[in-house]
């Protein structure tokens, strides 16, 4: 019996040690917690292992998102060890990735971000091009169709709405507003969506339009889907679009500015704003555009294309500095210059739709979140774009944020430092 007890205790002890070894806690910390460095400033990244282990820590350091500058394995002989030390004499980003068994940690940093510039020159006739497109929109008589009212509250209405457009498709979404509002009393909120076709994040929702319509003393909110799709359709409808005409839509027409898919997307932005600004309830001052990823790129584009846009909240925005590819950086999503095609033709077409070029015409207040370990919408691409805007910039760089939302362990800090302040800006702006 005693032998059995001793064996059981020994087995329990060994199991516990194995469990500890399998659940090492790995953390990365950098010399400047903000992740923002000046030119020549020394960057130091330390790895911390809570439970001692004989397993090596594998560390990869990337510059400007894709360039691997270091790959090393470290044996954690102490509780902490230096895994990266460096600096840069010019604007650039770094990302440290550390792995131990099944754990992975990422930490990002950026040097002299306020001096990042677009990788390709702005076309001399970019304003002429877009002014012509706007004139064609103006010449098309506005035709707006409203579906049924989706609101169950008497104080608000919310309509499935279609607006004709010069692009290949109409602008479609849900439009919500208070039922009773004095002329020139309401701000405009335009919601734009992330990439994809059939996910919940891609579709307009009546509930979202109504939520913003209730903010402050009321607002006119249009939740615009990116593709001119019908709203509220069966799953099969969106499945067919994704497998058919919208398959890989983001790389359609890369060699011709009139065929590029984003042209139609941007025209629908302008057309929707034209409709909203003609309504007598608009206060004539506030137009707030909100979006994440592809939606963030659309929000920035809207600010550049329409000088009436007064504020933007863009989270990890896409469509920024596509030309970064040509100056030793990774361009923003969808990285069109990294796709197959005639580069000369692409260079003539794509700059007209790059937020880094469009924002030169913007005086809007820009609130932007930037993930310093985001390889989908790299931090260098976003800074290169927003640096061109002339208005106030409120920037939230997040050293641990990938393109996806922070994980559960990171959420408390992120909520406090980034998510809540962004929401507070929106609430205050719409009061």
Tens of pLDDT, residue by residue over 72-95, are 999 887 778 999 999 999 999 999
Kindly state the tokens that stand for 73.
């394995």
Report if residue 179 sits inside a domain. Answer: yes
Averaged confidence pLDDT in the chain: 93
Q: Are residues 168 and 308 in the same domain?
A: yes
What is this structure's pTM? Answer: 0.93
Q: Would you say residue 17 lies in a domain?
A: no
**Do residues 268 and 301 touch, judged by C-beta distance below 8 A?**
no
Contacts of 189 by beta carbon, 8 Å cutoff, 6+ apart:
212, 213, 215, 219, 220, 221, 222, 288, 289, 290, 430
Domain coverage including residue 175 = 126-429
- For the record, the structure tokens of 98 come out as 């550390």
Domains of the chain: total: 2
Q: Is the pLDDT of residue 23 over 60?
A: no
Domain termination residue (choose one: 112, 140, 173):
112
95 and 168 inside one domain: no
Per-residue model confidence (pLDDT) at position 25: 83
Clarify whether residues 243 and 344 are in a common domain.
yes
Q: Is 20's pLDDT higher than 70?
A: no
User: Are residues 230 and 266 part of one domain?
Assistant: yes
Res 10: pLDDT: 34
Domain assignment of residue 18, yes or no: no
pLDDT of residue 24: 56
Same domain, 138 and 88: no
How large is the average pLDDT for residues 256-260? 97
- Asked, for residue 265, whether it belongs to a domain, the answer is yes
- Could you tell me if 220 and 339 lie in one domain? yes
Residues 140-187 have pLDDT tens digits of 999 999 999 999 999 999 999 999 999 899 999 999 999 999 999 999
| C-beta of residue 352 within 8 angstroms of C-beta of residue 258 | no
CATH of the domain at 371: 3.40.50.1820
CATH number, domain at 48? 2.60.40.1930
| pLDDT, position 224 | 98
Residues 301, 391 share a domain:
yes
**Shared-domain flag, residues 95 and 170:** no
Long-range Cβ contact pairs of 135-142 (< 8 A, separation 24 or more): 136/166, 137/165, 137/166, 137/267, 137/270, 137/271, 137/274, 138/274, 140/164, 140/165, 140/166, 142/274, 142/275, 142/278
Take residue 41 and report the two structure tokens written for it: 């400033």
Residue 326 lies in a domain: yes
Residues 184 and 325 in one domain: yes
Residues 176, 43: Cα–Cα separation, whole Å: 49
Q: Residue 51's pLDDT is what?
A: 76
Domain C-terminal end among 60, 89, 112 = 112
User: How do residues 273-322 score in pLDDT, each as one tens digit?
Assistant: 999 999 999 999 999 999 999 999 999 999 999 999 999 999 999 999 99
Tell me if 5 is assigned to some domain.
no
Among 58, 79, 112, the domain boundary falls at: 112
- Whether pLDDT at 18 is above 90: no
Same domain, 234 and 264: yes
Q: Is residue 340 in some structural domain? A: yes
What proportion of the chain, given as a percentage, has pLDDT over 70? Answer: 94
């Amino acid at each position: 019996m005693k032998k059995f007890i001793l064996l059981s205790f020994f087995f329990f002890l060994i199991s516990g040690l194995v469990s500890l070894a399998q659940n090492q806690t790995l953390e990365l910390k950098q010399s400047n917690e903000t992740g923002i460095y000046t030119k020549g400033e020394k960057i130091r990244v330390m790895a911390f292992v809570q439970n001692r282990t004989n397993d090596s820590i594998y560390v990869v350091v990337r510059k400007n998102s894709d360039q691997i500058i270091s790959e090393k394995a470290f044996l954690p002989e102490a509780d902490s060890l230096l895994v990266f030390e460096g600096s840069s004499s010019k604007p650039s980003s770094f990302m440290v990735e550390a792995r131990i068994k099944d754990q992975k940690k990422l930490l990002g940093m950026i040097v002299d971000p306020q001096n990042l510039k677009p990788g390709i020159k702005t076309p001399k006739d970019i304003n002429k091009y877009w002014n012509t497109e706007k004139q064609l929109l103006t010449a098309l008589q506005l035709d707006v169709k409203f579906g049924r009212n989706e609101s169950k509250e008497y104080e608000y209405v919310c309509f499935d709405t279609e607006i004709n457009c010069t692009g290949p498709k109409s602008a479609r979404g849900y439009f919500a507003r208070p039922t009773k509002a004095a002329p020139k009393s309401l701000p405009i909120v335009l919601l734009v969506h992330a990439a994809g076709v059939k996910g919940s994040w891609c579709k307009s929702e009546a509930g979202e339009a109504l939520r913003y319509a209730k903010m402050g003393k009321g607002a006119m909110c249009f939740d615009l889907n990116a593709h001119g799709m019908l709203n509220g359709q069966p799953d099969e409808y969106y499945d067919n679009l994704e497998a058919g005409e919208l398959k890989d839509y983001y790389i359609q027409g890369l060699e011709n500015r009139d065929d590029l898919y984003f042209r139609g997307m941007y025209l629908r932005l302008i057309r929707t704003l034209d409709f909203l600004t003609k309504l007598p309830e608009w206060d004539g001052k506030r137009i707030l555009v909100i979006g994440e990823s592809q939606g963030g790129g659309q929000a920035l584009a809207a600010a550049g294309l329409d000088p009436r846009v007064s504020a933007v909240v863009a989270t990890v925005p896409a469509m920024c500095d596509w030309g970064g590819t040509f100056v030793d950086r990774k361009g923003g999503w969808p990285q069109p210059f990294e796709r197959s095609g005639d580069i000369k033709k692409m260079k003539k077409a794509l700059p007209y739709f790059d937020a880094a070029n469009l924002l030169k015409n913007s005086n809007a207040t820009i609130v932007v979140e930037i993930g310093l370990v985001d390889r989908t919408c790299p931090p260098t691409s976003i800074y290169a774009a927003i640096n061109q805007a002339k208005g106030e910039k409120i920037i939230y760089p997040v050293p641990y944020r990938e393109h996806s939302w922070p994980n559960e362990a990171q959420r408390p800090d992120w909520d406090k430092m980034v998510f809540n302040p962004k929401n507070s800006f929106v609430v205050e702006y719409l009061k």
